[in-house]
């Protein structure tokens, strides 16, 4: 099967076609420093050909979710060095997913600072999980031009820090309703300047960040994650096909390592006017870059996706979370551990590093 065969990401060799996707786990300290449990967590799952780290905050002002890690000071960088070293000992690559949550946050976890966004428009109809429990989203602070420039420089510095920490590359998180996705959207971005109004202007932020990242650490070490039809955090497009067709065509003018496309989450409705087409075929076919397909794949569907020829790698989320030896289980058609949803975002070892490996008799 293609899933288990060696593969490549640019000039980098991968032991298989299976990627562990980025997953927020909320196991860092309040200071954004990852500990020994996180080292073990990633080392346990180093049978993947490539690991995407959980989202890593690029600055103190990018924080959205309590107990998520950062990579903007020396202590955080040094802690990540232990993770990357442990993963590399298994012959696996690991990329840092660089994250700015934008309006998906709350001042109670941001030292009293309001979250930021392209426009002062709050998320409605849902609540944020804070350190004090569920709370209504606040109206975010609309970023000034100077503050936008600062976030771009924060991405640049975070990429430099990721290289210092031993990561093999970075993934620019431009999906799932976070800041770059907010700039691109029609409802979260109501700006009238060079970052708002037209599709071209709304795409500008993502394209500028990508160019800075490529210039900073090299094209072969930069990837991007998009979720064209995923409405998480209240993101809405009037015409998602037109928007992402334009964005991907502009990304094609840049040289970078990969595009990861996350399909709409199974628990989210298809919004009115959105296409029912498969996102990998609809949007992946537009990209000239190596394509990673993400979301709810099984062994069979992942192999089928690879056989179609568009996607070159398949990323697995909750199945890797619950099965640290997922490639071996797939190869032997062994039973899979079921993910414990209740411990996805709770601190401690339970549901984090205590999922059993396949017994030697299987």
Kindly list the catalytic residues: 178
Cα 255 from Cα 354, distance rounded (Å): 40
In this structure, are strands 222-226 and 313-316 parallel, antiparallel, or unpaired?
unpaired
Find out whether 54 and 145 touch, Cβ atoms under 8 Å. no
Cα 47 from Cα 133, distance rounded (Å): 36
Element (H, E) at 57: strand 50-57
For every residue of 151-194, DSSP letters joined together read HHHHHHHHHHHHHHTT-SEEEEE--TTSHHHHHH-SSS----ST
Distances, alpha carbon 88 to alpha carbons 44, 49, 167, in Å = 12, 11, 9
209 DSSP β-pair partners: none
* Residue ranges in the chain assigned as alpha helix (H): 36-44, 74-88, 145-164, 179-184, 199-217, 240-251, 279, 299-308, 318-322, 326-332
Q: Which of 150, 283, 127 is nearest to 209 (CA)?
A: 150
Distances, alpha carbon 178 to alpha carbons 174, 184, 262, 324, in Å = 7, 10, 14, 28
Find out whether 210 and 222 touch, Cβ atoms under 8 Å. yes
In SS3 terms, 112-147 reads as CCCCEECCCCCCCCCEEEECCEEEECCCCEECCHHH
Residue 254 has which token pair? Answer: 């840049």
Element (H, E) at 51: strand 50-57
């Amino acid at each position: 099967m293609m899933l288990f065969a060696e593969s490549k990401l640019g000039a980098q060799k991968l032991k298989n076609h299976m990627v562990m996707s980025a997953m927020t786990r909320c196991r860092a300290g309040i200071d954004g420093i990852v500990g020994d449990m996180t080292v073990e967590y990633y080392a346990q799952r180093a049978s993947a050909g490539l690991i995407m780290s959980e989202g890593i905050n690029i600055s103190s002002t990018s924080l959205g979710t309590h107990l998520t890690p950062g990579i903007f000071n020396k202590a955080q960088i040094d802690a990540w060095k232990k993770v990357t070293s442990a993963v590399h000992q298994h012959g696996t690559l690991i990329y840092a997913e660089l994250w700015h949550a934008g309006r998906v946050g709350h001042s109670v976890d941001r030292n009293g600072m309001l979250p930021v966004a392209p426009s002062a428009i709050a998320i409605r109809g849902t609540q944020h999980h804070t350190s004090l429990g569920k709370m209504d989203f606040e109206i975010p602070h609309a970023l000034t031009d100077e503050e936008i420039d600062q976030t771009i420089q924060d991405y640049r510095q975070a990429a430099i820090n990721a290289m210092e920490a031993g990561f093999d590359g970075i993934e620019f998180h431009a999906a799932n309703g976070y800041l770059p996705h907010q700039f691109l959207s029609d409802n979260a971005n109501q700006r009238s300047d060079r970052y708002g109004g037209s599709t071209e202007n709304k795409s500008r932020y993502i394209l500028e960040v990508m160019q800075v990242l490529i210039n900073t650490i090299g094209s072969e070490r930069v990837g991007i994650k998009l979720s064209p039809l995923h409405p998480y955090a209240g993101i809405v497009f009037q015409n998602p096909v037109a928007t992402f067709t334009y964005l991907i065509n502009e990304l094609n003018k840049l040289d970078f390592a990969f595009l990861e496309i996350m399909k709409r989450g199974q628990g989210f409705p298809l919004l009115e006017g959105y296409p029912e087409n498969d996102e990998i075929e609809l949007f992946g076919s537009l990209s000239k870059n190596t394509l990673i397909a993400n979301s709810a794949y099984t062994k069979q569907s992942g192999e089928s996706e690879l056989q179609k020829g568009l996607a070159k790698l398949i990323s697995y989320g909750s199945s890797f979370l619950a099965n640290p030896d997922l490639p071996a289980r797939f190869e032997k058609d062994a039973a899979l551990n079921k993910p414990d949803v209740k411990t996805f975002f709770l601190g401690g070892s339970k549901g984090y590093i205590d999922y059993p490996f396949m017994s030697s008799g299987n």
